[in-house]
Amino acid sequence: MKIPVLPLVALGCFAWAVSSVLSSQPRRVVTEPPVMPPRTTFAQTIAATGLVEPSSETISVGTHRSGVVEKVFVKLGDEVRQGQPLLKLDTRDLDAELAVTQAQLAEAQAQVAVAEAERIQARRNLDYAEKLDDARAISAEERTQRETSLATVSARLEASQAAVRLAQARVEVTRTAIQRSIVNAPLDATVLQLKVRAGEFISASPASSPWMTLGQTHPLHLRADVDEHEAWRIQAQASAVAHVRGNPDLKANLEFVCFEPMVIPKKSLTGDATERVDTRVLQVIYRLQKPASAALFVGQQMDVFIVDASRKKINE
């Protein structure tokens, strides 16, 4: 019996082609996310994105004068009190200027002493001339010269006294500049960022990146961005909860503080300086209630769910 070779070969090639096509298709494997997204427990809710911030907002520390840092008195995470020194600038140039101004003040004070002595002598000479019984004992010209000499010395004394006041003002200006070379904490706060070291130069003009950042972290606040299309649904006393990103089981209750009075463009929170503007948002400030179920940090993002009380009112 003759075996049909060609049909068998064709059938084998077809089977191989089908198997090759099927094996080259991508396999779809259903995977579970590593962390389930947060879910609200409220019947009607408004979702928002929140950013943890200090209750004082973030304070970028500035300095009155530019200069080289001589010493930094604090480190990251330190709790500082109002008026506590944060850092000190190099003041050797100001110390030398203070010595010069103090010498000028001493010279001006000596000039005042000389002018006072001259004025006393000029007054005595004039008084002697006026007390003479015989008017012919001294000429009218001599009397006039003594009067002029007294007026001249009195004017010189006033000029010397003015020079003393000017020198004192220069001393005070220099001393003030030395005092302002020590940067003090403007309020009780926590050192959140520290990007300056001894020997580095800092400028008194605003910088794109602050060299020291402070903020009051007791308590912490949360700034929630609510889409402008849902802003009308927000109620001041509505309950709100914030969930930690990465672990929705960790959450914190929120207490309403205030509305920011201005709707602003929302920026996607990428950290880039040229962030893309998506829409406009109403910013709502909440206070993070204690105890929170996790340690929270300034700048941390959280998922916020707010009770939608407006739906209930509409249904009623």
Which of 127, 157, 180 corresponds to the end of one domain? Answer: 180
CA distance 203 to 66: 4
CA distance 94 to 178: 6
* One domain for residues 263 and 292: yes
**Which letter does DSSP use for residue 117 in this model?**
H
The range of the structural domain enclosing residue 145 comes to: 92-180
* One domain for residues 102 and 78: no
Six-digit token string for 164: 């003393």
CA distance 245 to 269: 14
Cβ burial, residue 292 (10 Å; 0-12/13-18/19+): middle
DSSP 44-64: SEEEEEEEEEETT--EE---S
CA distance 242 to 49: 9
Query: Which pTM value belongs to this model?
Result: 0.71
Helix 92-130 / helix 140-180 crossing angle, nearest 10 deg: 160
CA-closest candidate to residue 259, choices 236, 237, 239, 238: 236
What does pLDDT average to over the chain?
Answer: 84
* One domain for residues 207 and 104: no
Residue pLDDT tens, the chain, 316 long? 556 666 767 777 777 777 777 677 676 766 666 666 677 777 788 888 899 999 999 999 999 999 999 999 999 999 999 999 999 999 999 999 999 999 999 999 999 999 999 888 888 877 776 676 666 666 777 777 878 888 888 899 999 999 999 999 999 999 999 999 999 999 999 999 999 999 999 999 888 889 999 999 988 999 999 888 888 888 888 889 998 888 888 888 999 999 998 988 877 554 544 445 567 889 999 999 876 656 789 999 999 999 987 665 545 4
* One domain for residues 128 and 155: yes
Give me the CATH number covering residue 195.
Answer: 2.40.50.100
Residue with tokens 């300056």: 196
* One domain for residues 174 and 246: no
* One domain for residues 107 and 156: yes
CA distance 119 to 113: 10
* One domain for residues 67 and 96: no
Q: How many domains does the chain have?
A: 3
Amino acid residing at 303: D
* One domain for residues 235 and 310: yes
pLDDT tens readout for residues 101-130: 999 999 999 999 999 998 888 888 777 766
Give me the CATH number covering residue 135.
Answer: 1.10.287.470
* One domain for residues 157 and 231: no
Q: Which residues are paired to 72 by β-bridges?
A: 87
pLDDT tens readout for residues 172-199: 999 999 999 999 999 999 999 999 999 9
* One domain for residues 197 and 244: no
* One domain for residues 268 and 288: yes
Give me the CATH number covering residue 289.
Answer: 2.40.30.170
